[in-house]
Amino acid sequence: MSKELENLEDLRRLVEKRYSLSIISANVVVNDVFYLDAQGQCHKGRLAAPLNQPTPETLGAPHNHQMHWSGSQPCYLNGSAIPLGMGGPVNVPLGDTIYTRHLSIKPSPTTSYSTYSEMIEHYVALISAPAQSKYKVTPLTGAVYDVPEDTSPFKVQDTFSAKAEILDLNKLLTNDRIAIIGLGGTGSFVLDFMVKTPVKMIDAYDFDIFAVHNGFRSPGEVPFDDFGKPKTELCRRKYEPFRHRLSFHNKRVGKGDEALFANTTFAFVCIDDGELRGEICDMLIRLGVQFIDVGMGIEKEAAGLDGLIRTTLFTRGSAPVAIKEVPLDRRDENNIYRVFVQIAELNALNAALAVICYKQLRGFYFDERHYYQSFISLGSSNWIGKGMKYSILEVEQFPDSVQPGILYWSKKFKISAHHCACGCGDVIYLPVDPANYSIRMDKRGPTLRPSVGNWNVCNAHYFITNGDVQWAAKWTPEQITAGRALEEARRDAYYSSRNRSIRQVLLRWLRILLKALRITR
Ligand SMILES: [Zn+2]
């Protein structure tokens, strides 16, 4: 019996009765749940439910009366469906099993289960009874299954993600090694949020002491004895009990520190000094590390504090435009009498926007706009975003390095090229002719039709309209296949309606070649 099962008395009772239980990603899993399908065939499914742990050592009552189910519809001996309150499709991956349905059975119309053992026994008896009587199988196999190695970065079971059913989305973050550069006002809140995010690893950098003013601008307790100590030391003490793979570096990051970020997959740059920011941005861009730079400009006006809170996202696609948006100047003599105000709630808001933007980039949060820069304007309560924009450049041949933000169009070869609007860095080549794409010029910017779907690379799907990017819904694999077939049919109709000149044959060949190289859709 695993240590976790042994420690939780409610579940230990079931194991002692020879139920086959496992604990995976803060869910209790019931293996070997035999059931009959409509044809009377016997199958094995799994039930699971998120653990409710008020403390790491105790188990409370189940969160609700539902359980996840991995099998198909269980049936009675006569082939009719057992009413189990089966809900619509869900996606809960636990180990090597995907649970696709919720079952919803209460012990009685007005009550709920007070223990996990009561709930599990109720469900197993309902589902397994027909298979037990027909095939003499029993769910009480006592079998012990291998459970996947626990790679969670947290030192407690992540019952939070299990309950919220976001384990599938968490997987989008689990390979990231995050760097947080600067643990001042905003950086300390970024760290606080990221410590609770299931990324693989976090490296945090700061070279300063925890001064009295930091006590007013950082999350959580302010230990009186800790003023004057390095911020990294304080943060280590605060967060190490909660998660693994958290490293603190008492160091000023700058030019020449490339080696530190060789394995970094995403960074947050949270520093005030414009000159140092410039050094760090240059280095991360050179290394190809995606990152977010944060900052705010808040000033004291007659009517109160006002200003902007900024997050700027640097990807391969956005970096050339993003670098022009961030202040890289040193606080010079002219600014010596300016007071730059930062207040904890503004730092927390700036950090929250940055972490949300990172999670949107990874697909954890829905992102309809794909802004590379966001401003919150305090006084006007506005959120202002900037997305990628394209200008048109007519060329005969494409340059060796295709620049982001430009839609290149070779009328001679009837092909266009542009950086994918999602910032993934992929360059997309599209044929421009009556059978494929059209480009319309306007003083506001180019319009490209139909939509661009980068299905081979990043799944980005968008229109370019008057130079602006309009994001469209992501397609399912079935929609992509259907869309491709439709395009083929359209092209065939177009080409068969014309006499093919040698040049058209050559162009067609070129398109097939591009497609084979997977650089067009
Ligand atoms: Zn892309």
Q: Quote the mean pLDDT of the chain.
A: 90
Q: Report the separation in Å between the CA atom of 365 and the middle of ligand 1, taken as the mean of its atom positions.
A: 17
Residue 242, pLDDT score = 95
Q: Report the separation in Å between the CA atom of 253 and the middle of ligand 1, taken as the mean of its atom positions.
A: 30
135-145 average pLDDT score: 94
SS3 423: coil
User: Alpha helix locations (H) across 246-371?
Assistant: 274-287, 319-322, 344-362
Q: What is the pLDDT of residues 279-320, one digit of tens each?
A: 999 999 999 999 999 999 998 889 999 999 999 999 988 888
How many alpha carbons fall within 13 Å on the CB side of residue 4? 18
Q: Report the separation in Å between the CA atom of 403 and the middle of ligand 1, taken as the mean of its atom positions.
A: 14
Q: How far apart are CA 446 and CA 481, in angstroms?
A: 28
Q: How far apart are CA 195 and CA 193, in angstroms?
A: 6
Q: Report the separation in Å between the CA atom of 521 and the middle of ligand 1, taken as the mean of its atom positions.
A: 12
Q: Report the separation in Å between the CA atom of 356 and the middle of ligand 1, taken as the mean of its atom positions.
A: 19
Q: Report the separation in Å between the CA atom of 486 and the middle of ligand 1, taken as the mean of its atom positions.
A: 23
User: Which of 68-82, 466-480, 507-521 shows the lowest per-residue confidence on average (mean pLDDT)?
Assistant: 507-521
- Strands, sheet with 438-440, edge to edge from the N-terminal-most edge strand: 438-440, 447-453, 461-465, 468-471
Q: How far apart are CA 464 and CA 407, in angstroms?
A: 10
Q: Report the separation in Å between the CA atom of 424 and the middle of ligand 1, taken as the mean of its atom positions.
A: 4
Q: How many CB atoms lie within 10 A of CB 414?
A: 19
Residue 514, pLDDT score = 62
Q: Report the separation in Å between the CA atom of 421 and the middle of ligand 1, taken as the mean of its atom positions.
A: 6
Spell out a b/e string for 249-280, using b for 16 or more CB atoms within 10 Å of the CB, else e. beeebbeebeebbeebbbbbbbbbbeebbbbb
Q: Is 322 exposed, middle or buried (0-12, 13-18, 19+ CB in 10 A)?
A: buried
Q: What is the pLDDT of residues 319-345, one digit of tens each?
A: 888 998 888 876 554 555 566 788 999
Q: Report the separation in Å between the CA atom of 463 and the middle of ligand 1, taken as the mean of its atom positions.
A: 13
Q: Report the separation in Å between the CA atom of 357 and the middle of ligand 1, taken as the mean of its atom positions.
A: 16
How many alpha carbons fall within 13 Å on the CB side of residue 306? 8
Residue 440, pLDDT score = 95
Q: Report the separation in Å between the CA atom of 74 and the middle of ligand 1, taken as the mean of its atom positions.
A: 43
Q: Report the separation in Å between the CA atom of 315 and the middle of ligand 1, taken as the mean of its atom positions.
A: 10
SS3 481: helix
Q: Report the separation in Å between the CA atom of 494 and the middle of ligand 1, taken as the mean of its atom positions.
A: 29
Q: Report the separation in Å between the CA atom of 518 and the middle of ligand 1, taken as the mean of its atom positions.
A: 13
Q: Report the separation in Å between the CA atom of 361 and the middle of ligand 1, taken as the mean of its atom positions.
A: 11
Measured at the alpha carbon of residue 90, what is the angle toward residues 85 and 95, in degrees to the nearest 5?
Answer: 115
Q: What is the pLDDT of residues 106-120, one digit of tens each?
A: 988 889 999 999 999
Q: Report the separation in Å between the CA atom of 468 and the middle of ligand 1, taken as the mean of its atom positions.
A: 16
Q: What is the pLDDT of residues 236-264, one digit of tens each?
A: 999 999 999 999 999 999 989 999 999 99
Q: Report the separation in Å between the CA atom of 235 and the middle of ligand 1, taken as the mean of its atom positions.
A: 36
Measured at the alpha carbon of residue 89, what is the angle toward residues 86 and 95, in degrees to the nearest 5?
Answer: 100
Q: Report the separation in Å between the CA atom of 20 and the middle of ligand 1, taken as the mean of its atom positions.
A: 45
Residue 330, by phi and psi: left (phi above 0), alpha (psi -120 to 50) or beta? beta
152-161 average pLDDT score: 92
Going by the DSSP 8-state scheme, the letter that residue 107 receives in this structure is: S
pTM score: 0.84
Q: Report the separation in Å between the CA atom of 131 and the middle of ligand 1, taken as the mean of its atom positions.
A: 50
Residue 243 pairs in a beta bridge with: 154
Domain limits of the chain?
3-164, 172-386, 391-516
Alpha carbon 237 to its chain's center: 28
How many alpha carbons fall within 13 Å on the CB side of residue 331? 10
Q: Report the separation in Å between the CA atom of 387 and the middle of ligand 1, taken as the mean of its atom positions.
A: 14
Classify 172-386 by CATH class.
alpha beta
Q: Report the separation in Å between the CA atom of 39 and the middle of ligand 1, taken as the mean of its atom positions.
A: 47
Q: Report the separation in Å between the CA atom of 332 and the middle of ligand 1, taken as the mean of its atom positions.
A: 39
Measured at the alpha carbon of residue 10, what is the angle toward residues 8 and 11, in degrees to the nearest 5?
Answer: 70
The residue written with tokens 């067609």 in the block is: 508
Q: Report the separation in Å between the CA atom of 191 and the middle of ligand 1, taken as the mean of its atom positions.
A: 28
Nearest Cα residue to 197 out of 180, 231, 173, 230: 173
Q: Report the separation in Å between the CA atom of 427 and the middle of ligand 1, taken as the mean of its atom positions.
A: 8
Residue 519, pLDDT score = 47
Residue 437, pLDDT score = 94
Which stretches of 124-163 are assigned E, i.e. beta strand? none
pLDDT band of 521, cuts 50, 70, 90: very low
Q: What is the pLDDT of residues 371-405, one digit of tens each?
A: 999 999 999 999 999 988 899 999 999 998 888 88
Q: Report the separation in Å between the CA atom of 132 and the middle of ligand 1, taken as the mean of its atom positions.
A: 52
Q: Report the separation in Å between the CA atom of 458 and the middle of ligand 1, taken as the mean of its atom positions.
A: 5
Q: Report the separation in Å between the CA atom of 519 and the middle of ligand 1, taken as the mean of its atom positions.
A: 12
Q: Report the separation in Å between the CA atom of 309 and the middle of ligand 1, taken as the mean of its atom positions.
A: 27
411-438 average pLDDT score: 91
Q: Are 8 and 18 in contact (CB under 8 A)?
A: no
Residue 181 pairs in a beta bridge with: 205, 269
In this structure, what is the dihedral angle of CA atoms 374, 378, 379, 383, given to the nearest 10 degrees? 30
Q: Report the separation in Å between the CA atom of 173 and the middle of ligand 1, taken as the mean of its atom positions.
A: 18
418-445 average pLDDT score: 90
Q: Report the separation in Å between the CA atom of 453 and the middle of ligand 1, taken as the mean of its atom positions.
A: 9
Q: How far apart are CA 218 and CA 343, in angstroms?
A: 10
Q: Report the separation in Å between the CA atom of 419 and the middle of ligand 1, taken as the mean of its atom positions.
A: 8
Query: What DSSP letter does each residue of 61-90 carry, written as one string?
Result: S-SSSEEEE-SS--B-TTSPBP-----SEE
pLDDT at 140 over 70: yes
How large is the angle between the packed helices 116-135 and 9-16, nearest 10 degrees?
A: 20
